[in-house]
Amino acid sequence: MSSLTLDAEALYRDLLKAMQLLISSHEATYASPPQLVGIASGGVWLAERLQADLKLPGKTGTLSSSMHRDDFAKRGLASSSQTQLPFDVNGAHLVVVDDVLYTGRTLRAVINELFDYGRPASVKLVVLVDRGGRELPVQPDLAIARVALPASQSLALARLTDGSFSFEVQDR
């Protein structure tokens, strides 16, 4: 285990403040808030909590990377949730939410999945933590924290029974 300590709840509070500004800016231009879509599973937890805390109308969407992973032959179907988009993607302004951005491969897979459902007007990426190590040319529009971890470790958001968040750092 690593000695890295991240306060997930403090980072979430910073994310909430940043999202309030992003939503206000968006509404000034488009007159309605964007749709939140979480990447399974940590991104979904964040998106659902943001949806409630920001009092946004509608439901949060879920994007699964399972069917478009470039390592599908090796991993098979992961035990992640299925894609659920309870709104029309065509012409929608979306904010894709994830807990940790690393290589960019999961994001590539969920963008492919998203476009299977239609053509959004815009897509922004918001992440709680950007850990660098990109293998594909993707960058978040908003990252609350940036950390460096060795490739031998993984970082994932955990949701506790009371709904609060913490981070787990594990050796691979």
Domains of the chain: 9-22+33-171 (3.40.50.2020)
Model confidence pLDDT, tens digit, residues 123-136: 999 999 999 999 99
Tokens standing for residue 165: 């968040």
At 21 the three-state DSSP class reads: helix
- The string of pLDDT tens digits covering residues 7-20 is 999 999 999 999 99
Q: For residue 59, what pLDDT is reported? A: 96
CB 106 within 8 A of CB 89: no
- In tens, the pLDDT along 48-63 reads 999 999 999 999 999 9
Q: For residues 48 and 159, is the Cβ–Cβ distance under 8 A?
A: no
What confidence tens digit (pLDDT) does each residue in 99-113 have? 999 999 999 999 999
Q: What is the CA radius of gyration of the chain?
A: 16
pTM above 0.85, yes or no: yes
Question: CA nearest 42: which of 88, 109, 101?
Answer: 101
